[in-house]
Amino acid sequence: MTTPRLSVKDLHVQFPVRSGHRKQTLRAVDGVSVDLKPSEILGIVGESGCGKSTLARVIAGLTEPAHGSVELDGRPLPPRRTVQEQRAIQMVFQDPGASLNPRLTVGAVLTELLHRHGIVDRARERERAEDLLRRVGLPARAYDARPRQLSGGQRQRVGIARALAVEPRLIVADEAVAALDVSVQAAILNLFADLRVSLALSMVFISHDLSAVQAICDRVAVMYLGKIVEVGSVDELFSAPGHPYTRALLAASPSLEETAAVAPPLTGEPPSPLRVPNGCRFHPRCPLAVEKCHIAEPQWEMQGEHRTACHRAWEVDDVTAAGARHPRGIALNP
Amino acid sequence: MSGDTALEVRGLQVSVGSGHAVKGVSLGVRAGECLGIVGESGSGKSLTLRAVADVLPRGVTRAAGDVVVHGRSAMVFQEPMTTLNPTMRVGDFIAEGPRSRGVPKREARRRAVELLAEVGVPDPAVRARAWPHQLSGGLRQRVMIAAALAVEPSVLLCDEPTTALDTTVQAQLLALIDRLRAERGMAVVFVSHNLAVVSRVAQRVMVMYAGRVVEEGPTQEVLRRPRHPYTQALIETIPRRGVAAGQLTTIQGAPPDPSEEFTGCAFAPRCARAEDTCTSLRPPMLEAVPGHTAGCHFVAAPRAIAPSKEGV
C-alpha cells in the first residue's frame, strides 16, 4: 500500500469559550482520522459548526490541534511549522476578494511568493508568474491587474494561482466555489479537475454543496458535530448512504428533480458543539434512534472501504429514504 | 391557485448612475401563487424585487414603470441579522407591525407569539423574549418571516432568504414558505440565484439576464424544456450525477456590465447559436407554448438539451 499523501490521526481541536462567568470548552474537532492518497480529491461535507473549516485550518497549519497529528507523505508535521513545511500545504479560501491585498497587482502577489520561497531567481519571476496565470486560465495581461479590476471568478483563479505558486503537495479548498455564480462555479470545478490531471494535485475540498462535491471528489467524509460519521467513495456514499444523517443531507440538498416542496427531512438545527449529546451525537435529530443510540457511541460499520459510524447503519426508514430514492441529478428528458 | 392578481409590475426600469440595471420588467403574480426570479449577479433580479418593495439602495432609483400591489407587501431579506433590531426582543420587533396599525400593546404581543408559533418556532412564548443574537440563523429567518406576516401581507417578497443557511435548514424554510403561501393564499415572489431552490417553491419562474426577463413559464416546463439558450446553459452548468468536473458545461465570457445597453440580444456575445440578427435586433418575448415565453429569435426551434449521461 502506498504511503498516503495526507494522514490525519485522532485530531482534536478545542477552543476555550467564556459565556458570562462560565468557562467552557468548545470541541470543534473531536477525534478525526482520515487519509488521502496522492492525487486524490477528498470532499468534506456537513452543516455549519460541524468543524469542517477548523479541520481545514489544522491541516493547513493555521490552527494548532489540542491532540493528534497531521502527516504528509508519512512524515508528521509539527503544530508550528517551518516556512518549508507551510509551503507544502496551501489553502484556497471562499472569498477571493477578502484574501487578496487590494493594493497589490496580481503580478506583485505572485512574484513576492516566488521570491520569498526561492522558487525561481529574480530574472525568471515574471515568466514564471505568467505561466501560473496561464495554467489557471487567466490571460498574461492579468499580471498587471489589481483585484478590483477582476471578476469574482477571475479573483478565485488568482487565489488558485497563488496557492500553486509555491508548488504545494496538497491544496485545501475551503468553500472555494461557494461565493461564485453557478456558471463560474462550473468553470472553477473544471479547472480543479484539469489541475488534478496535469499536476497530479491532491486536494481536500470542503463544501456544503453536495452537487459540487459529487462532481469533483473521489471520496467524501461527512462530518457531524466534530466527528466524521461516514466516509466512502462518491459513488458509494451518494448511491447507498449508510448514515441517516448523510441521507438527510442528500434529501435536503436542492436538486432540479423535485416537482414540489418535499417534507423537510431533518427537524431542528445542529446542536451546539458546546453541548455534545451522549451516545451517538446525532441521536436527538435521528429518525432511527433507539435506546442504545442514547448511551453508546457507535463504532465503525464497514462495507469494504465505505465506513459508517451508526448503530443502524444502512437501515433505511421512510422519512430519510427520500434521499436515497432521489439519486441526485437531473433527468431532463422524461 | 388561480386567485386574483395580487401584484402587477409593468415596464419597470431601475437606474444606477447613468445607466439602467433593470431595463423594462413586467410581471404579474396571483394570490396563492409563487413566482421565482432566477439570475446571476448583476442580472437585476434583486433590484427588481427591491423596486417593488420600494427599498432601493441609495443612489438607485425607479426610473419608470408601474407597481400595483393589491393589499400590502412585506419583504424577507437574505441576512436577518442586518434587518432585525439588535436592541429589541424579537417578540417586540414582530409586534411593531400590528402596533403601527393601532393594535393595543398586549394584543400585539399575543399576536407576536401566535405568529412565532405559526412559523414553527419552538416554545414561542419563551422565544418571544429572546434577543436576536441568542437565535440561530434559521430561527432568525423564521422571526423575520413572522415579522413580515405581522403586517398581514397579500404579497410576500423574498430576496435570497435561504442562501446564507445550511441546506438542512434551507429545506425547512422552503417548506414553511410553501405552507404559508398555500394556507394564507399569499402571493410570493422568490428571488434566488439557485434554480434548484426556486424549483422547490415556485409554480412559475422568470429568468433574468442583463436587466431583462429572457424566459418565463411554469417552473417544470422551463426546467425540462428551456427555450432560451441562456436558461439552457444555466441548467447545464449545474453539476449533476454522472458528469465529472472537467466536463461541466460552462458559459463562455462574462455577463455584461449591468448598465450596458445593447441594440440586439444581450446574451448574443456569449451565445453558441447567435446569428447576425441577434446582434442587430433585440428579440421580443415570443410564446413557445401557451404560458411559456422566451426572448430569443429561435424560440420556435429549441435546441434539445444535452441529456445527462444516465438519462439515455
- Across A272-281, A320-329, B289-298, which has the greatest mean pLDDT? B289-298
The pLDDT of residue B41: 87
For chain A, list the domains and their CATH numbers. 6-217 (3.40.50.300), 223-325 (no CATH)
Distance from CA of B162 to the nearest CA of A (A): 11
List of chain B residues whose C-beta atoms are within 8 Å of the C-beta of residue A197? 246
pTM: 0.87
Q: Taking all residues of chain A, what is their mean pLDDT, rounded to a whole number?
A: 87
pLDDT at A196 > cutoff 60: yes
Compute the nearest-CA separation of B276 from chain A (Å). 25
Q: Residue A1: which pLDDT band, with cuts at 50, 70 and 90?
A: low
Answer whether A259 touches B (CB < 8 Å).
yes
pLDDT of B52 over the 90 cut: yes
pLDDT at position A253 is 86
The secondary structure of A241-266 as a DSSP string is --SHHHHHHHHHS--TT-SSPPPPS-
With a pLDDT cut of 70, the percent of chain A lying above it is 92
Instruction: Give the number of A-B residue pairs with CB atoms closer than 8 Å.
Output: 157
Which residues of chain B lie closer than 8 angstroms to A266, CB-CB? 168, 171-172
Is residue A321 pLDDT above 60, yes or no? no
Q: Residues of A106-125 as b/e, b for ≥16 C-beta within 10 angstroms? A: bbebbbbbbeeeeebeeeeb
Are the beta carbons of A309 and A228 closer than 8 angstroms? yes
Residue B299 pLDDT level (bands cut at 50, 70, 90): confident
**pLDDT > 90? residue B260:** no
CB-closest option in B41, B138, B199 to A258: B199
Chain B residues with CB under 8 Å of A329 CB are 240-242, 308, 310
Chain A residue with the nearest C-alpha to that of B173: A264
List the single residue in B195, B251, B312 with the smallest CB-CB distance to A256. Answer: B195
- Whether the per-residue pLDDT at A140 is higher than 70: the answer is yes
Whether the per-residue pLDDT at B166 is higher than 90: the answer is no
User: Could you tell me if A49 and A41 are in contact, meaning their C-beta atoms sit under 8 angstroms apart?
Assistant: no
In angstroms, the CA B275 to CA B264 distance is: 11
Length of chain B: 312
Specify burial of residue A324 (Cβ count, 10 A radius: 0-12, 13-18, 19+).
Answer: middle
Most confident of A20-34, A252-266, A301-315, B230-244: A301-315
Say what the pLDDT of residue B71 is. Answer: 94
Give me the torsion for CA of B112, B118, B121, B123, rounded to 10°: 70
Is the predicted ipTM greater than 0.95, yes or no? no
Q: Which residues pair with A45 in a beta bridge?
A: A222
Q: Do A186 and B169 touch (CB under 8 A)?
A: no
Q: Quick check: B170 and A252 CB within 8 A?
A: yes
Choose the closest CB to A261 out of B175, B233, B308: B175
Say yes or no: A214 contacts chain B, CB-CB below 8 A. yes
Which residues 163-192 of A have a C-beta within 8 angstroms of B?
181-183, 185-187, 189-190, 192
For residues A292 and A311, the answer to whether their CB atoms sit within 8 Å is yes
CA distance B106 to chain A (A): 30
Task: Indicate if the pLDDT at residue A261 is higher than 50.
Answer: no
Does A331 score more than 80 pLDDT?
no
pLDDT of residue A325: 41
Using an 8 Å CB-CB cutoff, list chain A residues near B241.
214, 238, 327-329
Q: Does the distance separating the beta carbons of B196 and A183 come in below 8 Å? A: no
Contact (CB<8Å) B308/A331: yes
Mean local confidence (pLDDT), B287-312: 69
